[in-house]
Structure 1
């Protein structure tokens, strides 16, 4: 089990939606869900957040889709909200080192809209079998941070699989880093395309 600090720095390259709208970002990992504050586009044509959140991550060798960290850009108003883009990071393919921040830029698109969400991910603790105040995989609909989850129809089953079943037994994780097939540079950009809504 890994404790991660995830900082949502900003969102840039927003296209396909009016920049006069207010925006927020949802971050989801293994049933946990958080939302940033609502913010506006600044003079640099990006939306600044600078908010930090903490997640618990259990690498899953058997259900690889559960290793995805999803980020969603949403527009918000008084009476309605709408998803702009969705992107994700394959956590099990990253080479994280405890205590070392890693910057990533997640490029997502949906329905001819696109954006780039900039994150900083820092593993702060590698624990084996230590009980937590919050469960690592909470029941779907009851996120750890108390932020309501959006309807899961946003993702087809192959992409997003919230699961209320208990997590599988933990497998050994190196004390210094998460297992990864190959390391990447510290600054990385990832592209993800969500299917169009019917």
Structure 2
């Protein structure tokens, strides 16, 4: 799975409703197995069996497990980007950071396979590309908000902060999602406190 040349494109793009339904079934069951067993421990045979189809049928839709992982990850990214673009523009900067952290935490806790897939992002070059796409998308949104509220903040410091906050939050929230609920919530609260303090310090230094 670390080979840069691995094909992660579906073998066939679902056009008919029945084909789309089968792809959705595959991805839904694969996500469930990834969540329970981890990506590395899951075989194509297990995905086919859980999806109620033969292994040959599964291979008609996806050439390998990496392609299934990539398809699920793409859906995660699209869903998160949509949620952020709906909520962030309506909020102040500090509230937007809180919402960003809450959304990621909820996603890690409630979306099947999200944590399992993204925790192993370094093992798959194709996932690293998606990871960077998500990071830069979030960073651009935060950068635009910082520029709007603090126009005198130097562009290089603004962009650095916009990269740092989503990346550090993602790392901490992956940990929080593995903890008991009470501990996880406390860790999320501390992450919010750190983020606010960092932003306050960033702005204060340039006044």
Question: What is the TM-score when the length of structure 2 is the normalising length?
Answer: 0.24
Question: What's the TM-score once normalised by structure 1's chain length?
Answer: 0.25
In our comparison, the structure showing a higher alpha carbon Rg is: 2
